[in-house]
Amino acid sequence: MMTDSEVQVFIDGIKNYFMTVSDSKAVVGTPYLINANKSPYSDYTGVIEVSGIRKGKVYVLAARAMLRHLLLSLGEKNISSELIIDIVGEVANTISGNVREQFGSQFVISSPTIIEGKNDAIKDVNQAFSVPFRWKSYTGYLVICLK
């Protein structure tokens, strides 16, 4: 099970990401425990596999509208499905990469995998932390499932 200070590293990662890439900060809600039957879902899910001192997955879930707005705020003019897939992967990768800096080189992360569609992308989870966040008028989720 993760400690409060370990979860805080992920929360800081969300805040830092949006402060760095946009003119609006993300407001992070209270993390809560979930299982596969009660996991959040959204239009897109970026999945990072974690190995080394921790094993499991980190998920970033976001609605298409949030990702489009994020791309617009980054200066993109012609937004395609490919760019939307790229940005959800970038968000997941950047947050996990920042966590890796805190946890050290024994916290190994994969390249992101993207799941499209409002499905139960988080299905192999016994117990995880869901961290809701709001950016502008959109709600996203960071789900941390690490052993």
- Read off the CATH number of the domain in which 59 is found: 3.40.1550.10
Would you state the structure tokens that stand for residue 9, as one six-digit string?
């590293």
Structurally, the chain folds into a number of domains equal to: 1
Which runs of consecutive H residues, i.e. helices, occur in 1-147? 4-21, 64-73, 81-103
Give the residue numbers spanning the domain of 54. Answer: 4-146
pLDDT, tens only, 97-127 = 888 888 888 889 999 999 998 766 676 667 7
pLDDT, tens only, 25-71 = 999 999 998 876 777 888 999 999 999 888 889 999 999 999 999 99
Phi-psi region of 121 (alpha: psi -120 to 50; beta: other; left: phi over 0): alpha
Which pLDDT score, from 0 to 100, does residue 124 have? Answer: 66
pLDDT, tens only, 58-89 = 999 999 999 999 999 999 999 999 999 999 99
Please state, in angstroms and rounded to a whole number, the distance separating the CA atoms of residues 87 and 30: 24
* C-beta of residue 145 within 8 angstroms of C-beta of residue 60: no
Phi-psi region of 39 (alpha: psi -120 to 50; beta: other; left: phi over 0): beta
- pTM score, whole prediction: 0.92
Q: What is the mean pLDDT of the segment spanning 14-23?
A: 91
